[in-house]
Structure 1
Amino acid sequence: MKILVIPTTDWIRHPVPNRLNFIFDILAEKHEVYVLHFNLENFKNNRARKTACTLIDTKFIDVKDPSLYYLLNWPKHFLKMREIIKKEGIDVVLSANILPSFIINFLNVPVVFDYLDHLEESAAIYYPESFFGKIVKNGVRQITRYNLRHSASVITVTQELKGFLEGIRVKNIEVIPNGVNCNLLRPLPKEEAKKELGLKGNVIGYVGSLEHWVDLEMVVEALPDLEVSLLVVGPGLFTDYGEKIKEMANKLGVSEKITFTGAVPYEELGTYISAMDIGLNTLKKMDKNEYAAGGKVFNYLACGRPVLSSRTISLVRMLGDNLFYYDDKDGFIKETKRILETPDNEKKYRELAKTFDWEVLAQKYEEVLRRAT
C-alpha cells in the first residue's frame, strides 16, 4: 500500500513520540509511507529523530501558537496533499489532525481517522480558562465531527471513546489501544538506575508532557506526607504548566524532593523509569482523561514498575487490578505507602506490557487500512 499520514504534530522533533511514529515506522518496512511534516516553531531546536517514513515538507509560515499555525498554513497543506496523492498514487490516508483532515475530505481518497484523544478538549487545554479556548473547543468539535462522519473508518484507543463516537453517529470504528516498544524499554536493576541518576531512597516518578491535563499539583501537595522523592521526566509543550509546578513546590517547601529532567530521548527512558519505585499517571478530572488511555502507563509496565493512576473509566476497564488507583490526595498518599510495602512484581508487569507491543498493534492498523482501500 501507499499510505499518506497526517500526524498530530511535528513528526521528528516533537519531544514525545506518539503512537503514529511507532506504528508507521513499523509499517514502512513493507509499505510506502509518506508523512505530511509540520515544522512547528516550538520544536525547531529539538534533535530530530530518525524515521523510516518519507517526509513531505510543508514549511510556509512559522508561528508558535499551534492553532494559528494550522489556520495560516492550510493552503500549503492542501497543495502538498493534493500533489503527493496524485504524484504517488496514494491508496489510503491515515489522519489524526483536525484542520488538515477536513481539507483531505475534498481530495477523493479514502481516509482512516485516528481518534486517539478527546480532540476538542485536547485542543482547548492549551488555552486554560480563556474565551479563546472556548472558541477553539467549539470549532474543533464541529470540524472533527465532520471529519469522523466522512471517514472510511475510524480507529480509537478505548471502548469508552468508541461509545462516545457511536453516540455522535460515527460508523466503522475499530479499537486499537496505545502501546509500547518493549525492545527499547526494558527493566534495569533499580538501585543501579538510581545511582546513575543520583537518586536515593524511595522514588515516585512521572513521565510525559507537562501540560494542564496533568495533576502534578496534587502530587506536590502530598509530598510533605510521604518519605519519597519525585522524578519528573518530560517537557512543557505550549504552556507554562511546568513552571507553575516549580513555583508551587517552592511555596510548599518541597523543591529539594523533586527532580525535573526536561525532555529525555525515548531510547533512554528505561533508565529513568527503572529508577522509580512507582510510575505515576496523575490526571485531572475531564473527559479527555476519563475516556482515553495514554502510553505512559505501558512505558512503566514495560520496565516492570507498578503504576499508580487516577481512577479513570477507561483504565479500570482495560487494565483492572493490574494497576493501583486513587481518587483524592488522601487516597494517593495511602496507595503510595501501600505499594512501597508491596513486594516487586516486575515479571508480571513486563509480561502484561508485551501484549501491548507496537509490533502487535501495527498488524491491526494494517488490517484497518487495507479494508479502507
Structure 2
Amino acid sequence: MNILVIPTTDWIRHPVPNRLNFIFDILAENHNVHVAHFTLKKFHQEKERNTRCILHNLTTVDVDDPSSYYLINSLTHLVKLRNIIKMEKIDVIVSANILPAFAVNFIKGDLPLVFDYLDHYEESAATYYPNSFFGKIVKTGVKSIIHYNLKKSNSVITVTEEFKQFLHSIGVKDVHVIPNGVDTTMFKQISTEVAKKDLGLDGIVIGYVGSLEYWVDLETVIKALPELDVKLLVVGPGLFTDYGEMIKELADKLGVLDKITFTGRVEYHDLYKYISAMDLGLNPLKHVKKNEITVGGKIFNYLACGKPVLSSRMIALETLMDDDLYYYDDLKSFINMTNKILSQIHDGSKYMQIARDFDWKNIANEYEDVIQKVLHESNQT
C-alpha cells in the first residue's frame, strides 16, 4: 500500500512521540508510508528521531503558535497534499490533524480516509489558551471542523469503548477501537536502587512522565507532598503553556520545591532509566472530557518497567485496566493510596506482562487490518 499519514504535529522533532510514529514506523517495513511533515518552529532545536517513513515538508511559513501555523500555511498545505496524493499514487489516507484533514477532504477524490481520533480535540486545542476568550473561540471552531472531518471519513479509529460511544452519539458510524501501547523493547526493568543512584536520587520516589500542560493535575500531587515522606520526580517538558512554571510556583509556595526534581525533556529511549528509579508511577489528570474517555500511553510505559501505577479515577481507564492499576479521587485519597501502595510488595513481572499485551507491534497489526478493510470496501464501491 501507498499510505499518506497526516499527523498531529512535527513527526521527528516533537519531544513526545505520537502513537502514529510507532504504528507507521512498523508498517513502513512492508508499505510505502508517506508523512505530511509539519516542521513547527517551536521544535526546530529539538533532536530529530529516526523514521522509516518518507517525509514531505509541508511548511512554507514558520511560526511558534500552533493554531497560527496551520491557518497561515493552510493553502500551501492544500496544494502540497494534492501533489503528494498524485505523485506518490496514494491508496489510502490516515489523518489525525484538524485543519489539514479538513482541507484534504476537498482534494482526495474517491480515496478512502481513516481518521485517528484519540483525543477530544476541542478541549485539547483550547487548553493551549487557558482562561482566555481566544481559547473559547478556538474550542468552538475546532469542534465544528472536527465533526465535519469525522463524518466525512470512511472510518474512524479511537482508543476506548467510551470514545466509540461518544462518536456514535454524534453520528459517526464506522468506528474501531485500537488502544494506545508501548515499545516494550525500549522499556527495560533495572534495579530501582541502581537507577536512583545513577540519577542522584534517594529515598522513596514517586514520579510523573509526560508533557506539562493544563489537562494534567500535578497540583494535587504537589499539595500532597507535605503529608508524604517521598520525593517527586517530574520527567517531561512544557510545550505550549506556562503550566510547568505554575506548578513550580505552587511547590515553592507550599515549601516543597526541594522535594521535587524536574528533568525537562528526556529522550524517549532513555525514559526507562527514570521510570526505573520510581517506586510508583503517577497518572494525574484533571476531570475533563478528553481525560475521562481516553487512555494515554504513559501508564503502559510505567507498567513496562514493572512499576505500580496510581491514576486519577477515569471512566475509560477503569474499563480498560480494571484493578491492574490503583485509583484516587481527591487529595485525601491520593495521600492514602500512595501510602498504601508504597507499603506493599509488588510483582514487577506481572506489570510487565500487562504491558506486553499492549506492545506497539500488536497495535500496528490491528491498525493494518482496519486500513486494509477500509481500502477493500472502497475498491468495491
Q: TM-score under structure 1 normalisation?
A: 0.99
Counterpart secondary structure, 1:237: coil
In the TM superposition, residue 29 of structure 1 has moved relative to its aligned partner by 0.2
Cα distance in 1 for partners of 2:327, 2:216 equals: 15
Residue matched to 1:80 = 80
Residue matched to 1:340 = 342
Cα distance in 2 for partners of 1:166, 1:63 equals: 36
Q: What is the letter of the counterpart of residue 57 of structure 1?
A: N
Cα distance in 1 for partners of 2:136, 2:186 equals: 40
Cα distance in 2 for partners of 1:187, 1:94 equals: 34
Aligned counterpart in structure 2 of residue 322 of structure 1, from 321, 324, 336: 324
Residue matched to 1:47 = 47
1:257-268 aligned within 5 A? 257-268=259-270
In the TM superposition, residue 305 of structure 1 has moved relative to its aligned partner by 0.2
Q: What is the letter of the counterpart of residue 360 of structure 1?
A: N
1:216-255 aligned within 5 A? 216-255=218-257
Residue matched to 1:69 = 69
CA contact (8 A) 2:59 2:77 kept: no
In the TM superposition, residue 371 of structure 1 has moved relative to its aligned partner by 1.4
CA contact (8 A) 2:36 2:57 kept: yes
Residue matched to 1:112 = 114
Cα distance in 2 for partners of 1:92, 1:119 equals: 23
Counterpart secondary structure, 2:116: strand
Residue matched to 1:37 = 37
Cα distance in 2 for partners of 1:344, 1:323 equals: 12
Cα distance in 2 for partners of 1:92, 1:188 equals: 42
Residue matched to 2:378 = none
Residue matched to 2:357 = 355
Q: What is the letter of the counterpart of residue 349 of structure 2?
A: K
Counterpart secondary structure, 1:80: helix
Counterpart secondary structure, 1:211: coil
Residue matched to 1:202 = 204
In the TM superposition, residue 327 of structure 1 has moved relative to its aligned partner by 0.2
Cα distance in 2 for partners of 1:236, 1:21 equals: 20
In the TM superposition, residue 22 of structure 1 has moved relative to its aligned partner by 0.2
CA contact (8 A) 2:41 2:62 kept: yes
CA contact (8 A) 2:181 2:363 kept: yes
Cα distance in 2 for partners of 1:354, 1:122 equals: 29
Aligned counterpart in structure 2 of residue 272 of structure 1, from 266, 271, 274: 274
Q: What is the letter of the counterpart of residue 137 of structure 1?
A: K
Residue matched to 1:167 = 169
5+ residue gaps, structure 1:
none
Q: CA RMSD in A?
A: 0.6
In the TM superposition, residue 187 of structure 1 has moved relative to its aligned partner by 1.0
Cα distance in 1 for partners of 2:243, 2:25 equals: 31
Aligned counterpart in structure 2 of residue 152 of structure 1, from 151, 154, 163: 154
Cα distance in 1 for partners of 2:287, 2:347 equals: 29
Q: Deviations over 1:332-360 (max 9, x none)?
A: 00000000011021011000000000000
Counterpart secondary structure, 1:154: strand
Q: TM-score under structure 2 normalisation?
A: 0.97
Q: Deviations over 1:107-132 (max 9, x none)?
A: 21211000011111111110111111
Q: What is the letter of the counterpart of residue 28 of structure 2?
A: A
Residue matched to 1:12 = 12
Cα distance in 1 for partners of 2:154, 2:267 equals: 35
Q: Deviations over 1:15-50 (max 9, x none)?
A: 000100000000000000000000111111000000
Q: Deviations over 1:295-332 (max 9, x none)?
A: 00000000000000000000100000000000000000
Counterpart secondary structure, 1:178: coil
5+ residue gaps, structure 2:
376-381
Q: What is the letter of the counterpart of residue 244 of structure 1?
A: M
Identity of aligned residues (%): 61
Q: How many residues align?
A: 373
Residue matched to 1:24 = 24
Q: What is the letter of the counterpart of residue 291 of structure 1?
A: I
Residue matched to 2:379 = none
In the TM superposition, residue 59 of structure 1 has moved relative to its aligned partner by 2.0
Cα distance in 1 for partners of 2:369, 2:197 equals: 45
Counterpart secondary structure, 2:166: helix
